[in-house]
Amino acid sequence: MNSITPLLGLSSEELTRWVIEQGQPSYRAKQLHQWLYTRNIRSLDEVTVFPKSWREQNKTPVGRSTIALQTPTPDGTIKFLLALADGQTIETVGIPSDNRLTVCVSSQVGCAMGCTFCATGYSGFGRHLEVHEIVDQVLTVQEAMSRRASHIVYMGMGEPMHNLPRVIKSLRALNQEIGIGQRQLTVSTVGIPGKILDFAYEHLQVTLAVSLHAPNQTLREQIVPTAKNYPYADLLADCREYVRTTGRRISFEYVLLSGFNDLPRHAEELATRVKGFQSHVNLIPFNPVDEARFDRPTPKQVEIFRSTLERAGVAVSVRQTRGVDQSAACGQLRRRAFLQAK
């Protein structure tokens, strides 16, 4: 930890070490923790229990972003565009329901995976997010929506497994410093060779959501370019190892693209792949993206696909798309703001 590492995301032990390094008594760490995570401070200067002279000298950043834009939707979902310290922007979404607030966080600025149905994929890769920039997204949504987050999904911009060390540290911070249960944390991936196993051996109790999006290698390579380096059978073998190591079931994500991967024969083939697997399939009707050549399937197409899987004994559900008219598809808000600024 160097002197300019932002404070957000540090573990309690690291915070205690930092406080002592700064010449303050160790009990100040507990106070600082409370001000960071429950009083939502943006600068150390706000921590009025600390001596004024010390606050005036200490320029260590807290690590908070600012809200550049927010788009509320009629169903209560709010999509935020957040400006980071270096001027980069990322998207975060707060999705409320009766008894939960789910926050969908980004793990990178942009994304290197280039999936052909995804607005973020068209923006290219910017950089990895630091731990404090991931944790900040949760605090920002909690503050703006005046509710505590109950569930976190790493399904915003970026491929979490491409930024695995920081993602793992942020998961620990959300669990230990903010108090969100590990089982309420979900990490999504399109799969990078070796990373699912690295993640499994961390022995966290979080949910792994694997974006399959196709029933076979040939179709998958056409929409997830990085799948060329990760044969379908190897991906599924790593998923089985994840289940064996953690005891957690896998969630398979499947975006339904009209006429491309949503026919009954695709559902039948998918069923043969995931049947007998401790897993659940989440179907996501495609959210239109300006650049992509795909269409959204009709509700009838979605239902035929779902019921075909169900008849084959696969646990399956259809994810409700929320805020679809408000640039809500992954990466669209940022891309639209970027294009308007050009």
Instruction: Give the 3-state secondary structure of residue 154.
Output: strand
Q: Which residues contact 186 (CB under 8 A, 6 or more apart)?
A: 151, 152, 153, 154, 155, 206, 207, 208, 209, 251
What is the residue-wise DSSP string for 70-139? EEE-TTS-EEEEEE-TTS-EEEEEEEEETTEEEEE--SEEE-SS--TT-HHHHH-EEEEPPHHHHHHHHH
* By CB under 6 A, residue 63 contacts ligand SF4: no
For residue 114, the minimal CB distance to ligand SF4 (Å) is 6
Q: Is 328 near ligand SF4 (CB under 6 A)?
A: no
As given in the structure block, the two tokens for residue 291 are: 């650049």
Which one among 157, 161, 235, 267 touches ligand SF4, defined by CB under 6 A?
A: 157
Q: Which residue has 């390579």 as its token pair?
A: 221
Tell me whether residue 61 or residue 225 sits nearer to ligand SF4 (CB atom): 225
Measured from the CB atom, the residue of 130 and 159 that comes closer to ligand SF4 is 159
* List 7, 19, 95, 111, residue binding ligand SF4 (CB under 6 A): 111
Which range touches ligand SF4 (CB under 6 A), out of 157-165, 179-187, 192-200, 293-301?
Answer: 157-165
Catalytic residues: 91, 330
332 contact partners, CB below 8 Å, separation of at least 6: 119, 289, 290
Of 163-202, which residues contact ligand SF4 (CB under 6 A)? Answer: 190
What is the rounded (10 degree) CA torsion for 174, 247, 249, 277? Answer: 160
Which of 94, 121, 191, 297 is the binder for ligand SF4 (CB under 6 A)?
121
Q: Which is nearer to ligand SF4, 29 or 292 (CB)?
A: 292
CB of 105: closest distance to ligand SF4 in angstroms? 12
Q: Give the H or E element holding residue 168.
A: helix 164-176
CA 71 to chain centre: 19
Task: Select 115 or 316, whichever has its Cβ closest to ligand SF4.
Answer: 115
Nearer to ligand SF4, 9 or 121 (CB): 121
- Does 330 participate in binding ligand SF4 (rule CB under 6 A)? yes
Which residue type sits at 269? E
316 lies in the binding site for ligand SF4 (CB under 6 A): no
Rounded (to 5) percent helix, strand, coil in the chain: 40, 20, 40
C-alpha dist (Å) from residue 141 to 54, 179, 200, 322: 30, 15, 29, 17
Check binding of 93 to ligand SF4 (CB under 6 A). Answer: no
Q: What is the 3-state secondary structure (H, E, C) of 200-224?
A: HCCCCCCEEEEECCCCCHHHHHHHC
Nearer Cβ to ligand SF4 (135/210): 210
Kindly tell me which residue out of 101, 115, 167, 281 binds ligand SF4, with binding defined by CB under 6 A: 115
Total number of residues binding ligand SF4 (CB under 6 A)?
A: 12
Q: Kindly identify the residues of this chain, within the stretch 65-84, that bind ligand SF4 according to CB under 6 A.
A: none
Please report, as residue ranges, which positions from 13 to 42 form the binding site for ligand SF4 (by CB under 6 A): none
Q: Is 159 a binder of ligand SF4 (CB under 6 A)?
A: yes
- Does 113 bind ligand SF4 (CB under 6 A)? Our answer is yes
Binding site for ligand SF4 (CB under 6 A): 111, 113-115, 118, 120-121, 157-159, 190, 330
